[in-house]
A and B are shown apart, each in its own frame.
Chain A
Amino acid sequence: MGTTRMDRRFFLKTAGAAAGSAATVQVGCLTYFKKGRSASADRREVPTTCELCPNKCSAIAVVEGGLVKKLNPNPENPKSRDMLCARGNAAIKQVYDPDRLKQPMIRVGARGEGKWKPVSWDEAFDFAAKKLAEVKAKYGPEGTLWSSTEGFQEVFFKNLGLAFGSPNLVRHPTLCLASVNLAYSATFGTVPSFDLLNSRYVIMSGANRFESIITPDTMDLIGGVMERKAKLIYLDPRFTVTASKADEWYPVKPGTDLAFILAMIHVIIAENRHSKEFVAAYTTGFDQLVEHVKQYTPEWAERETEIPARDIIRIAREFSDAAPRSLYYAGRRSSWYQNDFQMRRAQAILNAIVGNWDQLGGMVPNAKLPKGEFLFMPWDEPKAPRVDEIDKHFPLAAKGDGVYLKLRENVLSGKPYPVKAWMVYKQDPMNAMPDQAKTLKMIEGMDFIAVIDVQMSDMAWYADVVFPESVYLERTDPVEVMPGIWPAVVYRQQVVKPIHDTKPNLEIVQGLAKRLGLSDYFDFTIEQWVDAEFKELPIPLAAEHMKKHGVWAASGQPSYGKTLTPDHRFVTKTGKIEIFSERLQEAGYDPLPVYSAPKQPPENRFRLILGRVGYFTHANQSNNVWLNEFMKENDLWINPKPAARMNIKDGSYVTVTSSVGAVKLRARVTEEIRPDCVFMLHGFGKKSKMQSLVYNVGASDAVLLETAWDQVSGNAAFHETFVNVATA
């Protein structure tokens, strides 16, 4: 044995001794560093609420010398469970990002050319108001489109659009989770939470919860399902981190999850394993389901899904044995296939028949907490119908959200009427919508485009005027109730003053409203708005509490079974959980989920599938310097078999082509994806030069994705595009 063995004890002993001797000479150095992070007189800790993704986790900002030095998790929020993820931590770099928008700007070159003139707020407001008035005079208020994504200050932007008289507000849900929301709403009258902390048996279809973080689900998957050795069954064409932690991973044939679920229902009913008492007491339409699923045998499902029939049978048995502490997890971004609504409906029905509703370890209707509401002056309802014709084509979809892709089709065609101004808040339709070329065409057709954002997104890059919003650490926002098994009320308060010439959205809206003659509707301050909300929080000294703690969580204890009483009325047409849905039937849809086999890619073509990682959710996060360090360029996952056939080497550049666009990016040759699929991450290949870290780096999925949507909800179907891949 010629080598010296270093065990842990020996290492600690020697390291300690070395540190001791070094300490004498390092004192000056330590003092120097201490200066920068000492508990100096101006050190403050400010509780607030994160805005880097929709989770709204509670954070405590540490401020020293007027700078945000650190963000810590806030243990008082039961939803974020004393966790702040990589994205949350990187919010500091949103404040001090050299790329961020620092003052209002008006375009002086051609759209997309990137020539801008910095202007005063007055100039920017006057310019936008004049353009909006021109469009209104020519096309009516309905000739303006107001696009936004969820956020605490989104309400002001939406209200400006409505007060202006436009029916055309369009929000993000039909680019994200509209199908899952509509499916669970249609079945239970609400979208429940999933009690992963206490479940014994969990099935997930493509919900990559270990990487695509949802609070508290991601933490409960670790602290609940993993800790207690509960079983996790995972279906995904890709071997994700969630697949690596699951007990069983099935690389399901894409788009066939519905067949798997229907076959599970078939087995459970055929073997009399459903909860008879629950079905009788709380549901309607079970008899129709019995007849309906007879055709969906496990052997049939094996041919569709490539999951062995014996496994489907076993999983169905284990699932029903573990009930009510078993659940088929709904997932969040459900913009996958054109049958997405029916796939989620089948999940909901499967959950219902084993009686896991409102049970420990099952699905739980969200508890809510009360808060006050600022009563603003109401306006007249917009007179024109919506341009996306939602009533005609998607009668059951959420009217207030609109249907994005149908809307784009109609705006492009000019039917039923022209839309010529586009106002955008906190959204990047250039990357959020499929088929970027079509979005560019829509942009070309606009007489006027204004964008309110914290950074120069690709959408802002093509705007006529950009209004720089203060980032969340520089703002006080409305109070928000976070419903859930562990509900909380969260508050976002200003941590540092804006470091550039930016404004919170409310003040931007007020600046526009003043010039549009709509000031009366926005005659309040954020403080007045927030005070009205604090007033009805049932805690003493609510305002003081929220400012000091940033969150209020009642008892923090979940309660189960509140809806399991004979007189409980579900918010559905019948007042019961609707297995068979008359409302769907009346609207011309299948009242029970009917399977039809999805198209599969022809030889030598691939299905493009999407997903997220723990450090990027939205397209704007790849330009955050801390997050960008995790991944500087996106690549294309491709299986070694087709890669070898096409002579594609790991790390080499490939050209990916769909019917609507082509991109070039590096190949990642990996066994971790099915041979008939390719995968890429979202948020690269930016057109905006003010996204300097990702400008022209990697590729944008939006360039390749074709326009397709779920038939019932109108939710975008992002996994329906087939692509060619070739060496570049």
Chain B
Amino acid sequence: MQNTTKLLAMLLALSVSLAAQGGSDTKGKFFFKKSCKACHAAGGSAKEITPLSKTQAQWKAYFAAGKHKKGAEKLDGVVKPEQIKDIQTFLTNHASDSPQPETCGG
């Protein structure tokens, strides 16, 4: 019973957090690679960034602040505002403290 309650609470928390992001993981990956990775890649003009670069909380804070280049400019000036939510979803889903069990192939 206790376990069931815990499970329900966790699922509720999970669905709330996903609802808060509300973006598309697939589209987020696409926009991240297309926009962010143009500079933030290994050997690129800016520091390499992957979803693992931050924890879920750190990504949340980053997108809440909405700043780019250490605050020098607004994030929605660099990435289209309608794409930001998708990118946030992708990065949060694959953050360094996110559960991401490995699979086989695919």
A interface vs B, CB < 8 Å? Answer: 54, 148, 150-151, 154-155, 158, 162, 171-173, 176-178, 181-182, 184-186, 190-191, 370, 373, 375, 377-381, 391-392, 395-398, 400-401, 569, 571-575, 583, 585-588
Q: Which residues in chain B, 18-38, are within 8 Å of chain A measured between CB atoms?
A: 24-27, 29-30, 33-34
Which residue on B lies nearest to A191, using beta carbons?
B102
| Complex alpha-carbon distance, A113 and B22, angstroms | 48
Q: Is the CB of A395 within 8 A of B105?
A: no
Docked CA distance A148–B25 (Å):
21
- Please determine whether B105 and A54 come into contact, CB atoms closer than 8 angstroms: yes
- Are the CB atoms of A154 and B10 closer together than 8 Å? no
Q: Apart from A181-B102, A587-B6, what 20 extra A-B contacts exist at CB < 8 Å?
A: A148-B106, A171-B104, A171-B106, A173-B103, A182-B101, A186-B101, A191-B102, A378-B30, A380-B27, A381-B24, A381-B25, A392-B11, A395-B14, A398-B101, A398-B102, A398-B103, A571-B52, A572-B97, A588-B7, A588-B10
List 12 A-B pairs, Cβ < 8 Å.
A150-B106, A154-B105, A176-B104, A185-B102, A186-B101, A191-B102, A377-B30, A378-B24, A378-B29, A379-B26, A395-B14, A398-B102
Q: A177-B104, A181-B104, A185-B102 are in contact. Are A162 and B11 (CB under 8 A)?
A: no
By a CB distance below 8 angstroms, the chain A residues around B104 are 54, 150, 171-173, 176-177, 181
A178 and B14 alpha carbons, distance in the complex (Å)? 22
Interface size on B, residues (CB 8 A): 29
Across the interface, do A397 and B101 meet the contact criterion of CB distance under 8 Å?
A: yes
Judge whether B3 is part of the interface by a CB distance below 8 angstroms: yes
B residues near A191, Cβ cutoff 8 Å: 102
Alpha-carbon gap, A505 to B7, bound state (A): 40
Q: Are B106 and A588 in contact (CB under 8 A)?
A: no
A73 to chain B, nearest CB (A): 22
User: A373 to chain B: which residues have CB within 8 Å?
Assistant: 33
Determine whether the beta carbon of B11 is less than 8 Å from that of A190.
no
Closest to B4 in A: A588
Q: Please name all residues of chain B whose beta carbon is closer than 8 Å to the beta carbon of A148 when the two chains form the complex.
A: 106
**Is the CB–CB distance between B99 and A400 below 8 Å?**
no
In the complex, which residues of chain B have a beta carbon less than 8 angstroms from the beta carbon of A370?
42
Nearest Cβ distance between residue A157 and chain B, in whole angstroms? 10
Q: In the complex, what's the smallest C-beta–C-beta distance from A161 to chain B, in angstroms?
A: 12
Given known pairs A381-B25, A381-B26, the reply for A573 and B97 (CB within 8 Å) is yes
Report B52-103 residues with CB < 8 Å from chain A CB. 52, 55, 96-103
| A155 with B106: CB separation less than 8 A | yes
Tell me, rounded to whole Å, the shortest Cβ–Cβ distance linking A7 to chain B.
53
B101 and A391 within 8 A (CB)? no
Q: Which of B14, B25, B26, B105 contacts A151 (CB 8 A)?
A: B105
Also in contact, A185 and B96, with CB within 8 A (given A375-B34, A395-B14, A587-B7): no
List, in ascending order, chain A residues with CB within 8 A of B27's CB: 378, 380-381
Cβ–Cβ < 8 Å partners of B96 in chain A: 569, 571, 575
Residues in A neighbouring B30, C-beta threshold 8 A: 375, 377-378
Whether A395 lies near B97 (C-beta < 8 A) is no
